[in-house]
Amino acid sequence: MPTIPSSLVDRLARARCVVVSTGAGMSAESGVPTFRAEGGLWTKFKPEELANVDAFLRNPQMVWEWYQSRRDVILNCSPNAGHTALVEMEPLVQGLTIVTQNIDGLHAAAGSTDVIELHGNIRRNFCQQCGERYDDASLLSMTEIPSCSCGGMIRPDVVWFGEMLPEKALARAERLCEEADVFISVGTSGVVYPAAGLALVAHQHHAFTVEINPEETPLTPYANVAISAAAGAVLPEVVRLLRERTAG
Ligand code: OAD
């Protein structure tokens, strides 16, 4: 059982605004592959051939098929104990918002009510040419890339390298990090900006900053508390201690 410092439980219980920033490690225990560790997606595939708009315009069918294969995996995954713990944390703390880099939709599937998706959501699509939205689930199993009524190609609603993050989502995330009393970074290698910069914003604005990750990251030096263990073990324990504190 990971040891949770009492300072974290105290800070959470007193906080008015809590931001939990999640990355691929959050969903690892659900069976969704991460990107950079051994066996991760970017150790087997080249992002420049699959996750940028030039690659899509050069070879749309190949990019579409790769995202369909990721959908096959993700749509068969369920939220894990860490996702569930964040849902259970909502009534135990004030003002909890999840800011995620994950595109798997597992926080919402678990039941979290306030989730900011910085990198989009693989369960949705839009037209590369006119922007028309295509959220129909039937597209998620199409092997041939579908076309829009305007003649454009339909692509997954995920942020590719070189693209801007959704403006309102990023602005709200930054504002919350400025206000946060507690900022918890879970399962991110902390190397992809602007998402990684949110931890620094929270730190600069004096949030109590926590990292949950079995490995050290560039964000670790900024953490008041770094818990070196898996999200699925740590977060349920934090919830248990918060409940104990509320009851006592
Ligand atoms: P990474 O694959 O870079 O990092 C995953 C992190 O999760 C690593 O630091 C692991 O040590 C940690 N980890 C693994 N299992 C864990 C567990 N059970 N509990 C807690 N931590 C665990 O993934 P991200 O940081 O999310 O962007 O990657 C950021 C972005 O890079 C992604 O959103 C994606 C990718 O390119 C886009 O596609 C735009």
Q: pLDDT tens digits, residue range 105-156?
A: 999 999 999 999 999 999 999 999 999 999 888 999 899 999 999 999 999 9
Establish whether 119 is a catalytic residue. yes
- Å from CA of 215 to ligand 1 middle: 11
Nearest in space to 82 (alpha carbons), one of 137, 132, 22? 22
pLDDT, tens digit, 9 for 90 and up, residues 207-218: 999 999 999 999
The pLDDT of residue 93: 98
Cβ of 192 below 6 Å from ligand 1: yes
- Active-site position among 83, 107, 119, 203: 119
Atom number, ligand 1, closest to the C-alpha of residue 189: 9
Residue 226, H or E segment: strand 225-227
Cβ of 156 below 6 Å from ligand 1: no
| pTM for this entry | 0.97
Q: Is the pLDDT of residue 159 over 80?
A: yes
DSSP letters for 68-129: HHHHHHHTT----HHHHHHHHHGGGSSSEEEEE---S-HHHHHT-S-EEESSEEEEEEEETT
pLDDT, tens digit, 9 for 90 and up, residues 190-234: 999 999 999 999 999 999 999 999 999 999 999 999 999 999 999
The residues, ordered by sequence, that sit 6+ positions from 91 with a Cβ below 8 Å of its Cβ are none
- Å from CA of 152 to ligand 1 middle: 32
